[in-house]
Amino acid sequence: MKESVDWLILLLYAFVLYQVYQICFKGGLRSRLPLLLICLGILIVFLLVKLILRGLGNWPSFSRIRLITFLAITLLFGGLITYTGIPYHGQLSWKIMQLLNEKQVEFVHRNLYQDGVYGLLKDIRKKMNVPDTLYVLDEFSVQFKKNGTITKVDVFLYGRDTSGKVQTFLLSYDEAQSKKLIVQMNGKANATFDEAASFTPLLQMFNQVDIRTKISPLTVTNDADVYGLIYTGKRQFTTAQGLESLDEKGREELAKLNKGGAVEGFAVSLFIPQREDISPLRLILNPKYLTPDTIEQSQEKQIINQSQQSKIWTTDSQDGSVYYFVSEQKSIGYRLKVADAAAGSRYYVLEKTEDSGTHWQTIHENPFAGVAGVAEGIEFFTSDFGFIGVTGASQTHSQIFMTKDGGKTFTEVLLPFNQVKEMPEKVKTYGLKLEDFQYLSMPFYQEGKLVIHVSTSAGEAEYLSFYSQDEGVTWTFENK
């Protein structure tokens, strides 16, 4: 009888640990807690009775086999419970991360008119150290009532602490869910520390203007439940409509928009959520007028920087020019610049830079041999050996041209379609014919071979494959 009770104690012990493991792994504390407490209570009663009787000399010690069983149960479930605490391996890991990286802050200063945005930072700094200089990732979004009471906050802020370490703060608040501000720390952010994303100008705006007064045109004419404020840092505007500067000098800059161009500055948008028919009010701090030429130069510099970081060609969405910088020498680059355009087709010239895009020189005025279309791509495997491609508007056909002298001369890549004696099995199932395959992909290296895929249109999964082992001098069909 006493041995049976010992085994029952071990069984209850194992069941309790199993329930603890399930809670740590899957969660569901509320649903499992009653059964867990009942079993735990019974286990404690049995253990107390055993301890009392053992003290009176009426109960023998655990046998070796039961001791081994106890240790095995402890090690098994102890290991499983520990495993659930490893990041992303169970609910326990999420609770641990939440405990380490999340704080709930009493949101006291939550009237936008009276406390501004600084009130939010003031409450957070009561609980944690926040850098003096902060930056916004994406946008700072606030919703508030007509009387200024904040109802929602969403923002990702980051900065550096005194040791230079990056600190992140994901702030979220929803009045309908909780009266506390949730702050998640130690997240990952693309921390560029670009001054265009600085949070400081927003604080300056609240020091300079009365938001209650500025938003009154919306609150007087529209009796909405909530109003919104969005700050994304520095922005550009090409029209002064709906835009208000905070000082006279800024208003003079806005007036220059009559000549074209744009103004750039830190801006706040005030609006009514879910009401796209009502134009937002925008306040801009220290706007600076940018001439059309300045904007064009800035865009070109941006696309050049992007292209230098990319492993493939980069297309300028503004004018359709295509850029590529040689991998080994980022100072050397090529671009297909649009020279003329008509009816959806373009004519290009090929330009080259040897000083990272500061100066460009035309090296070929007709690289596509008079073929009009849209540049498919440009790539150079060395400073001299490269390819350019042009496709039609329908992207069902394209042509590839090759150079071995740095773009001074080009020859069209002509693939040996006569080698295709039999269509691949996958292609046959679609009933496609050889003449349907006219779209050539840009060449790429694969296992030491230069490869071109030929399909019926851009993006198609089925293709014919050709390869070259002599840098494009000869090509061979590969039946896969």
For 199, the token pair is 């949070």
φ, ψ for residue 400 (rounded to 5)? -115, 135
Claim to verify: residue 309 and residue 402 sit in the same structural domain: yes
- CA gap 142, 271 in Å, rounded: 11
Claim to verify: residue 57 and residue 113 sit in the same structural domain: no
Q: How far is CA 52 from the centre of its chain?
A: 63
Is 95 a member of any domain?
no
**Structural domain for 413, as ranges:** 295-478
Sign of CA dihedral 299, 300, 305, 310: positive
Q: DSSP assignment, residue 248? A: H
Q: Which of 225, 258, 290 is the last residue of a domain?
A: 290
Sign of CA dihedral 421, 425, 427, 429: positive
Predicted TM-score (pTM) above 0.75: no
What SS3 state is found at 43?
Answer: helix
Claim to verify: residue 121 and residue 148 sit in the same structural domain: yes
Pairing of strands 333-342, 227-237: unpaired
Number of domains in the chain: 3
Between the CA of residue 42 and those of 38, 48, 49, what are the distances in Å?
A: 6, 10, 11
**Cα angle 471, 359, 290; round to 5:** 130
Burial 23-57 (b: 16+ CB within 10 A, else e): bbbeeeeeeeeeebeebbeebeebeeebeeeeeee
Q: pLDDT tens, position by position, for the chain (480 residues)?
A: 556 767 777 888 888 888 888 888 888 888 888 888 888 888 888 777 667 666 555 555 556 787 888 889 889 988 998 988 888 888 888 887 777 788 899 999 999 999 999 999 999 999 889 999 999 998 999 999 989 999 999 999 999 988 889 999 999 999 988 889 999 888 887 888 999 999 999 999 998 888 888 888 777 666 777 899 999 999 999 998 889 998 889 999 999 999 899 999 999 999 988 788 888 899 999 999 999 989 888 889 999 999 998 889 999 988 889 999 987 777 899 999 999 887 678 999 999 999 999 999 999 999 999 899 999 999 999 889 999 999 988 889 999 999 999 999 999 999 999 998 888 777 777 778 888 899 999 999 999 999 999 999 988 888 899 999 999 999 999 876
Cβ-based neighbour number of residue 310 at 10 Å: 12
Claim to verify: residue 314 and residue 451 sit in the same structural domain: yes
DSSP notation for 363-417: EES-TTTT--BEEEEEEESSSS-EEEEEE-TTSS-EEEEEESSTTSS-EE----G
Claim to verify: residue 241 and residue 187 sit in the same structural domain: yes
Burial 370-380 (b: 16+ CB within 10 A, else e): ebbbbbbbbbb
| 197 touches 233 (CB < 8 A) | yes
- CA gap 429, 268 in Å, rounded: 58
Claim to verify: residue 335 and residue 267 sit in the same structural domain: no
Is 355 a member of any domain?
yes
Claim to verify: residue 199 and residue 313 sit in the same structural domain: no
Claim to verify: residue 258 and residue 346 sit in the same structural domain: no
Is 194 a member of any domain?
yes
